[in-house]
């Protein structure tokens, strides 16, 4: 199965990939992150899969999807950690800037 739209022989992602694996990938992410985040990241997994170059000769598609999901979860956690640290520093600066009038 190859995608010839790009003019190159590039392995295509099976058309029914989303239907077959979305619920499973969503559950995997939801066990690691809040459900709202899992909704968005599960969709991102399949967007990344469509942009990626899956090669069926390398192996099954399921581990490939789990790898994408794992990377997205890790990136999400790093982003959240960075965001919380920045908020904490900002709150600390604001607190230090206010003197107790008593």
Bigger pLDDT: 99 vs 20? 20
Question: What is the residue-wise DSSP string for 3-65?
Answer: E-TTSS-EEPPPTTHHHHHHHHHHHHHHTTS-HHHHHHHHHHHHHHHHHS---TTT--HHHHH
pLDDT of residue 1: 39
Among left, alpha and beta (phi > 0; psi -120 to 50; other), residue 11 is: beta
Write down the mean pLDDT value for the chain. Answer: 82
Q: What is the pLDDT of residues 56-85, one digit of tens each?
A: 788 899 999 999 999 999 999 999 888 888
The CATH code of domain 11-94 reads: 1.10.1740.10
For 92, half-sphere exposure in the C-beta direction (CA atoms, 13 angstrom radius) is 6
Q: How many Å apart are CA 26 and CA 46, to the nearest integer?
A: 11
């Amino acid at each position: 199965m190859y995608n010839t739209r790009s003019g190159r022989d590039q392995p295509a992602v099976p058309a029914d990939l989303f239907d077959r694996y979305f619920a499973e990938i969503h559950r995997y992410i939801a066990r690691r992150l809040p459900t709202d985040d899992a909704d968005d990241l599960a969709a991102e997994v399949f967007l990344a899969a469509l942009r990626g170059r899956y090669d069926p000769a390398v192996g099954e598609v399921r581990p490939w999807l789990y790898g994408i999901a794992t990377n997205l979860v890790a990136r999400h956690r790093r982003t959240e950690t960075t965001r919380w640290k920045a908020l904490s520093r900002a709150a600390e600066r604001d607190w230090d800037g206010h003197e107790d009038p008593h």
